[in-house]
Structure 1
Amino acid sequence: MNKFRIILLALGLLFCNMQFAQDAAQNDEPSLDKGTIDSQFEFVYKKSGNYRADGKRYEVVRTLNLDKLRQNVRDTINAFNKNKAELKATISGNEATIASLNDKLEQTTGNLNRVTEEKDSMSFFGMLVSKSSYNLIMWTVIIVLFLMLLLFIYRYRNSNYLTQEAKVRLAELEQEYEDHRRRALEREQRISRQLQDEILKYKKSK
């Protein structure tokens, strides 16, 4: 009796494992509602029928699947265009920031040079001050201006780095977009030609 129960338990576990594996395999199957464009093209190929006539192989694609695939390709292209526009806006903003920082950098550099040239003067805003007080004020101003110069240089370099990085990303995105658009158009044209050939053949057969 115990052996019979063990056998039933083993068979039950085996059945559950087989069912789980089958469900996992079904979940991994490509579809038009998820996955990459390439996997969706594979789905269309798998779901299309085929036959041979006059020594040629033809694919019969459902119009519904073809329309869905076309819409998915358009959505992907629109997403690429949106991302491209966002990157261009980021680059424009960074370039404007760099231009502003350049102006401030030139102004700060001019002020620093002017203060350095006038540091030996004993007149401070028309008032006579002691040499020690004058030197203290001048060095304080110079240090502040120098720190501002370092800050502006840092911000300038950081903005320039971000701009260059955004330009590289934009170039990569444009290249990826062009490659993807070319592959998608080639596949869509191939499927459309096969569908058109099939329609013409069907009309001729009537």
Structure 2
Amino acid sequence: MIKNKIAKILFIALITGTPINAQNEQNEATLDQGPVAGQFDYTIEKSSKYEEYRVVRTNWLYKLKSNVLDSLSSLETTIAEKETAIDSLKSEIKSINSNLENTQEKLDKAITQKDSIPFLGAELPKGQYNSIMWGLVLILAVGAAFLFLLFKRSHHLTGEMREKYSDLEKEYDAHRKRALEKEKTMARQHLNELNKLRGRD
């Protein structure tokens, strides 16, 4: 099977007169860098042309596959890290909400007490005591809002990463299908050419 593929590629390369070795050196260097979409575009642009088809070397396709899988693996790792960060933020927000509830309960009890309230061993006026407590609540509320914004941003980034992962997976599947269709078409053409040659004999 592999020998047949190699024979087909060599046959088409001989017809089109394309220097495969030079292309291989250029694409090998290009396939090692740049975005995946750019690597696909460069491979298609630099591949041999046969009528309205493009002939892509098998090792280029394997290289592209490896690059795509590496990108997918990196995205999966990033998504896992973001999800871990989100879980951590959820835990922190839950803890802060719990602290806010406790602080509110303490504040409600303080309001119902007499005007002079003992605080840290000192008697404080009710207004001053309430100011201190509300200041603490405000600080906690600001902290909770900040953590919520961080959580929202992480959630947004995670959604973007999942969307990019899905797009990349669709792009890879589409490219794989196109490559298979091209290979089948080339095989049929090659078989027709062989049948013609045999018919002349």
TM-score computed with the length of structure 1 as normaliser: 0.70
Q: What is the SS of the residue equivalent to 1:135?
A: strand
Query: Is the contact between residue 116 and residue 124 of structure 2 (CA under 8 Å) also seen in structure 1?
Result: no
| Residue 179 of structure 1, CA deviation | 2.0
Aligned partner letter, 1:108:
T
| Residue 34 of structure 1, CA deviation | 0.7
Q: Please say if 1:37 is aligned against 2:26.
A: no
Higher relative contact order at CA 8 Å, sep ≥6: structure 1 or structure 2? 1
Given candidates 44, 53, 57, the residue that maps to 1:62 is 57
| Residue 190 of structure 1, CA deviation | 0.6
Tell me what 1:155 maps to.
Answer: 143
Query: Is the contact between residue 47 and residue 55 of structure 2 (CA under 8 Å) also seen in structure 1?
Result: yes
Q: Please say if 1:177 is aligned against 2:172.
A: no
Tell me what 1:91 maps to.
Answer: 86
Structure 2, unaligned runs of 5 or more: 1-25, 196-201
| Residue 151 of structure 1, CA deviation | 1.6
Aligned partner letter, 1:35:
G
Query: Is the contact between residue 61 and residue 195 of structure 1 (CA under 8 Å) also seen in structure 2?
Result: no
Aligned partner letter, 2:33:
K
Give the CA RMSD over aligned residues: 2.7
TM-score computed with the length of structure 2 as normaliser: 0.71
Alignment length (residue pairs): 166
Structure 1, unaligned runs of 5 or more: 1-26
Tell me what 1:6 maps to.
Answer: none
Query: Is the contact between residue 53 and residue 182 of structure 2 (CA under 8 Å) also seen in structure 1?
Result: yes
1:4-153 equivalences in 2 (<5 Å): 31-52=30-51, 57-120=52-115, 134-136=123-125, 141-153=129-141
